[in-house]
Structure 1
Amino acid sequence: MVTTQHWVWATGHFLLLAAAFRYFLATLLFRSISDWWYKAGFTGALISYAIVCYKALGPPQPNLAYFRRALPDENVQYFAVAFFWWSSKPVALALLPYTIFSLFHALTFTRTTLMPRFLPPSPAATQGGAPQPHPLAKQLQAWVKANYDGAMRVVAYTELLIFVRVFLGAITFRNSLLSPLIYAHFLRQRYYQSAFTREAFAFTNGRIDGFVRKPGNPPVLVTIWTQVQGLASRWAGSVIEPAAAAGGAPRRG
């Protein structure tokens, strides 16, 4: 049985997808577009993540115990970051990870909830067996399963690019100085919780390290990069909890 909360959750994802499509299309075509679409996209994200957080943690409570349970939750973190983006000057790239999450959630909702209402199931493969999902539903499920890990890798690399964007934006006064600090903390949490994020960090670090240490580069470049690596390592923490390091595919929205 599909509850009202489930419909509201799905509505948030469809709203995000519609607004993001409109916003990204205008951005790619270099056309001006109202920030309303950007905020509408993150409004959809806030709706969906609020439902998930409520179901996982219960009603918000003004006490330390609730805060300790909520703080490490991935969905709470994405909800908080979505609210930050919603209330800040638009950064178009920031909408992309949420759009990817919503695409997969919307496709799954379509397959499990919408399709059975309009597409009759196929006859049972054996006498007395259960009816089989419609062939389109099977194809959709196969596509989601085949592309999920790749999409999560795209999200992980995109989140690194968002940090670069807001870091440069802070230097050039295109966004607040607070943006890279908040997003750096968010990425630190993602590093601990997501194997895809650790993979993205490792690959990016390896490529930069290989470039910096190429023969013929000024020694000062290597010195600066080594100091940056040391600062990042001390800030992120040198020990990852075994449970976090062994985590599987992320659960979001």
Structure 2
Amino acid sequence: MPAATSKNSTPSSASSTPKQGQVDTDKLLELVYTLQFAWFVGNVLTLFGFIASTLTFLRILPSLYKLDYLLTLLGVLISFGILVFQLVQKNGLRFGILIKDDNTHYILLGGFLLFLRPYVWLTLVPFAIFSTFHVLAYVNGYILPIVGLDKSNISSTITNFVSQNNAKSIEAASGIELVTYVWLLLRMITFRKRSLSPVLVYTVFLKKRYEVSAFTRGYVKVVADAGDKIVNDVNHPVLRDVWAKVRNVFGIVDQYKLVNDYTQEGQKTK
């Protein structure tokens, strides 16, 4: 999952701790004027927009669904934009590194969704998952120490929750992305408004995710194995022929790598 300094890191805690309940205003002001705080604000905005968008999805203030959707994606562009900016600062404007980075994939997806505006709630869920853990990590590493709560039960609870569920959340997001793709396909074949372009964008996005994410490849394998089992159990020649053609198409697509040849990863580590 992307984070403030790298995709596997979490914010470090403040150096000294004030008395519990007291706010170190100097450190708070110093914190506010950092790029990392802007990243935190972007994640908070993503979460706020997602919660509001969920309420509109549940028919609470439904007239605001467009605004809430755009607000969520604005937070996405801020948070992931800062991560990409930091990546460029560290490595320079190197296309090969940028295109393989998770943060690049997600800011491109967020940008396309903001431009295309399909207003599909599911497209926001993975971003909300990421932002939840980013906000928790930042609060635990930066905000709580400023108010003297870095050694409190609150901090311990957050630490345990993040450490126990961080990897699970990334895996869950990968699964939700595949479910989202299926939903976008259903919208397209039922001729919903603004349905074709999001499918094309998400197809490219998932192709890139498949090449860099073991979680995504794992879910695709589960789906493929389930399809094989269903076809074998039904044992109908037409169904077998259709399924064989589908698998053949995916096999051909897989031969062309957009950002990463995942088949070489094992050999590089030997």
Shift of the 246–197 alpha-carbon distance from structure 1 to 2, 3 Å rule, reads farther
> Unmatched 5+ residue regions in structure 2?
1-13, 15-30
Deviates most, 157-166 or 47-56: 157-166
Question: What is aligned with 2:208?
Answer: 189
Which structure is richer in relative contact order (CA contacts within 8 A, separation 6 or more)?
2
Please tell me whether the aligned partners of residues 153 and 200 of structure 1 are also in contact (alpha carbons under 8 angstroms). Answer: no
Is the counterpart of residue 52 in structure 1 residue 83 in structure 2?
yes
Is the counterpart of residue 180 in structure 1 residue 211 in structure 2?
no
Q: TM-score when scaled to structure 2?
A: 0.78
Please tell me whether the aligned partners of residues 175 and 216 of structure 2 are also in contact (alpha carbons under 8 angstroms). Answer: yes
Aligned counterparts of 1:199 and 1:241: Cα–Cα separation in 2: 14
The DSSP-based 3-state class of the residue aligned with 1:173 is coil
Shift of the 13–180 alpha-carbon distance from structure 1 to 2, 3 Å rule, reads same
Aligned counterparts of 1:73 and 1:150: Cα–Cα separation in 2: 20
Please tell me whether the aligned partners of residues 85 and 91 of structure 1 are also in contact (alpha carbons under 8 angstroms). Answer: no
Question: What is aligned with 1:39?
Answer: 70
Shift of the 245–220 alpha-carbon distance from structure 1 to 2, 3 Å rule, reads farther
Is the counterpart of residue 8 in structure 1 residue 38 in structure 2?
yes
- Identity percentage of aligned residues: 26
Deviates most, 151-160 or 166-175: 166-175
Please tell me whether the aligned partners of residues 171 and 215 of structure 2 are also in contact (alpha carbons under 8 angstroms). Answer: yes
Please tell me whether the aligned partners of residues 195 and 245 of structure 1 are also in contact (alpha carbons under 8 angstroms). Answer: no
Question: What is aligned with 2:161?
Answer: 143
Question: What is aligned with 2:4?
Answer: none
- Per-residue CA shift, 1:180-233, capped at 9, x if unaligned? 222111111111111111111111222222122214x43211111111011011
Q: TM-score when scaled to structure 1?
A: 0.83
The DSSP-based 3-state class of the residue aligned with 1:71 is helix
> Unmatched 5+ residue regions in structure 1?
122-132, 248-253
Please tell me whether the aligned partners of residues 39 and 82 of structure 2 are also in contact (alpha carbons under 8 angstroms). Answer: yes
Shift of the 147–168 alpha-carbon distance from structure 1 to 2, 3 Å rule, reads same
Runs (4+) of structure 1 moved beyond 6 Å?
A: 244-247
Residue in structure 1 matching 2:50, options 20, 24, 27: 20
Question: What is aligned with 1:129?
Answer: none
Aligned counterparts of 1:156 and 1:237: Cα–Cα separation in 2: 21
1:196-235 matches, within 5 Å, as 196-215=215-234, 217-235=235-253
Question: What is aligned with 1:99?
Answer: 128
TM-aligned CA deviation for residue 25 of structure 1: 2.4
What RMSD, in angstroms, separates the aligned Cα atoms of the two structures? 2.5
